[in-house]
Amino acid sequence: MKVLLANPRGFCAGVNMAIRCLEEVIRRVGTKVYVYHEIVHNRNVVNRFSDQGVTFVESVEQIPIGSILVFSAHGVSPEIRRVARDRKLQTIDATCPLVTKVHLETIRFANQGYSIILIGHEGHDEVIGTMGEAPESITLVGTLDDVAELKFTSSDKIACLTQTTLSVAETAVIVQALRQRYPQIELPGKEDICYATTNRQEAVRLLIESSDVLIVLGSQNSSNSRRLMETGAAKGVPSYLVDDSSELQLDWFHDAQTVVVTAGASAPEVVVQECVDFLRHHFSATVSEEMLKHENVEFPLPRELQMLIAE
């Protein structure tokens, strides 16, 4: 067996920043810290912090007044920020700057009187936060059927934004349908799907052509990880999304000559290497690191954390 190890894979700049942020809070003030939602959508990462004593909550009202609260990488709505202020929480915003970009675009378009069509997955933390910026102005679509049901006219002011972790190919189809139906539609100057999502999907598309199986390391609630799995499946290649090597099944690899291994943007490298070790142990696999694009993006720690560090 030959293993093609996709690169780029794993942590993106936004995930790195969020995890470093939470680690630094712990280092400075201990583990009596609260995080709204999962810091990133990865079970192994969340369990590691939970084991240290960090508390992840789904409601800001659960947090004792005056506590330290970290906002996750996926961003939050203005209403959540308001509740946090009312409870006198010391907040540290670990939102990915590329998600913040979409929030700012939402505010700008809404203030200019546009109706905003947001392409995304209903219920995803990022989508909930974005829609919270201008709920009266946003319509969520996720499929071509949703586009067909839109009631806007050719004279309406319409703008289109997207969740940052979508399938590049599927989103392009939806955007094209929107442009055909509403030629006047406005899009942001730079697309909203983030560089890491795009790069990881492109790496899989290039490697999958010569492979028998695709393994994606990532959690089931990770949007960008699921899109990687779907990229392989769309090519007819058996594709599996797993948190770690404990979920791998030997019969997946029956007669497999070439296996592509990659990781979603919130999956730690340690689980990738454990997967590779599994394939080496059971199938005497050789490993080829396939560098398809270099990434050198870094995001600074949140200003609030820098102030906390300085105290």
What residue ranges in the chain does DSSP mark as E strands? 2-7, 34-36, 55-57, 68-71, 90-93, 115-119, 138-141, 158-162, 213-217, 239-242, 258-263, 286-291
What residue ranges in 200-267 does DSSP mark as E strands? 213-217, 239-242, 258-263
126 catalytic residue (yes or no): yes
Contact present, 255 and 199 (Cβ < 8 Å) = no
**Catalytic residue among 38, 79, 122, 126, which?**
126
Contacts of 123 (CB under 8 A, 6+ apart): none
Task: Give the count of beta carbons closer than 10 Å to the beta carbon of residue 196.
Answer: 26
* CA separation for the pair 263, 227 (Å, rounded): 11
Tell me which residues are annotated as active site. 126
